[in-house]
Amino acid sequence: MKDLMQMNHPTLLEVFFSGSLVGNLALSQRGEIWFDYSPLWVKSGFGLSPMSQFNLKLGPFKSNNQNLFNGLHGVFNDALPDGWGMLLMDRTLKKQFGWDPHEITPIDRLAYMSNRAMGGLEFRPAMPSSLDSSIPSLEELARDVMLVEEGTQEEVINSLAIFGGSPGGARPKVTIAMHKRDNHCISGFGDIPAEFDHWIIKFRTINLDPDCMGRIELAYSKMAQNAKIEMPPIKLIQVKLRNKMEDYFAVQRFDRVGNIKRHVISLAGMLEISHRSPSIDYLNLLKAVYFATKDHGEVKRAFRLMVFNVLAHNKDDHAKNFSFIHKNNSWKLAPAYDLTFSSGMNNQHTTAVSGEGLPTLRAIQEIAKELTISDWKEIVLEVYEAVSSWEKLACELMIPQKYISQYKKAMQSAPCFSEIAKQHPLSEI
């Protein structure tokens, strides 16, 4: 293998989906990133985004927002991690090639991800690597996460660079394939046996998250299920770490069905907007859902999720926490994910509701009226009753009382929740 420390920065990548060439990404001498579809994909493929920019046609084109994602198109930026995964990538590329973060281009990062990205897109040629893809135990992965979190491990541990470098979000995560009957894990890269499924295991940020973070997220997922929100399969994984049992939240990946990869685009990737700061309103979000899916039923699913986020005090509801899956030649809203208690920025929702960062019931009604959701009262009531089960669910999962009380108080004191509590039933609204 070529000396890794002599590695040149690639300027051209082929983009594949399900074994077929989709097109090419090129980095110009001026630092601009261009994409063009392959002729065969134009004849027999599908647009990588619902936006007209990605309609099937020949000819190269740049991102609509050159000031975002370092000039990378939103759909390809979705293939990159952020937060934790980006930290691991930067450290790995520094160790292998001596590259500092400011030297690393988006094309470098996609070549590094190769076939390990979230969603269905793959990028070739893959960047050469000395990393070993054999998977350690969950206990070893949890230990490695803690070492990096504590700062006692300056270099990225080999296993984390592979299995923890794909998912987005700030919290440490790993992607693995897990046996259907137990927690035996194997690598999820490449084909997996029929008795395995693809999962994401979420660890906790030791300086920010409580010890019971996994059980809190499980309780939120169960609340969402009770609110009739579509969720992937979920469970807790118990791991012994430093002579103490830790509970980690695990969620089955919706971008994988056995050995089939699904193409997914986030709302942020579709609209090419930042998820790091408030940049959109739920009114725009729901309109974008209809634009992508052409299905009023999908709009109602997104409306229900909005109501849940408002009533359950999930204020980290940014544009990357909503996604679309391409299947059967159409777009559908992806199952909900990353649902947990969050105070957001300045205790405001990242995605406003009819202009309100602290939404009232009137703001929700205005969204419903604009999108002609006639049964909005029934949806609000169903979600309200599901979120009202927080204390019961949290007690069943043995979440400490201080968090149960703290979250309950925050939920009930929010404008919308308190209004519903006073006016319940909703027939008087």
User: Cα separation of 34 and 160, whole Å?
Assistant: 31
Q: Kindly give the residue spans of alpha helices, DSSP state H, lying in 155-295.
A: 158-163, 213-226, 267-271, 282-293
**pLDDT 10s digits, 2-13:** 556 667 899 999
User: Cα separation of 39 and 56, whole Å?
Assistant: 9
**pLDDT 10s digits, 190-210:** 899 999 999 999 998 888 899
**pLDDT 10s digits, 64-109:** 888 889 999 999 999 999 888 898 899 899 988 999 999 999 999 9
Considering only CA atoms, which of 158, 171, 81 is closest in space to residue 118? 81
Which residue do the tokens 């090129």 mark?
26
Domain assignments of the chain as residue spans, ordered by start: 4-124, 138-256, 263-428
Is pLDDT above 60 for 144?
yes
CA distances 28 to 71, 272, 429, Å, are 11, 21, 58
Radius of gyration of the chain (CA): 22
What is the reported pLDDT for 276? Answer: 76
Q: Phi and psi (nearest 5°) for 45?
A: -100, -155
Considering only CA atoms, which of 43, 61, 41, 59 is closest in space to residue 51? 61
CA distances 274 to 40, 68, 92, 271, 320, Å, are 32, 7, 25, 9, 8
**pLDDT 10s digits, 25-65:** 999 999 999 999 999 999 999 999 999 999 999 999 999 88
Considering only CA atoms, which of 285, 311, 317, 315 is closest in space to residue 424? 311
Number of CB atoms found within 10 A of residue 277's CB: 10
Number of residues assigned to the chain? 429
User: Cα separation of 56 and 343, whole Å?
Assistant: 41
User: Cα separation of 74 and 79, whole Å?
Assistant: 9
Return the amino acid letter for 422: K
**pLDDT 10s digits, 158-178:** 878 888 877 777 789 999 999
Which residue do the tokens 């594949």 mark?
16
The separation between the first and the last C-alpha atoms of the chain, rounded to the nearest angstrom, is 70
Q: Phi and psi (nearest 5°) for 325?
A: -110, 135
Q: What angle do CA 206, 77, 251 make, to 5 degrees?
A: 45
| Helix, strand, coil percentages for the chain (3-state, nearest 5) | 40, 20, 40
Q: Phi and psi (nearest 5°) for 192?
A: -120, 155
User: Cα separation of 369 and 365, whole Å?
Assistant: 6
User: Cα separation of 325 and 256, whole Å?
Assistant: 11
Return the amino acid letter for 277: S
pLDDT band at 1 (very low <50, low <70, confident <90, very high): very low
Do 264 and 120 contact (CB within 8 A), yes or no?
A: yes
User: Cα separation of 158 and 193, whole Å?
Assistant: 24
Task: Say what percent of the chain tops pLDDT 90.
Answer: 75
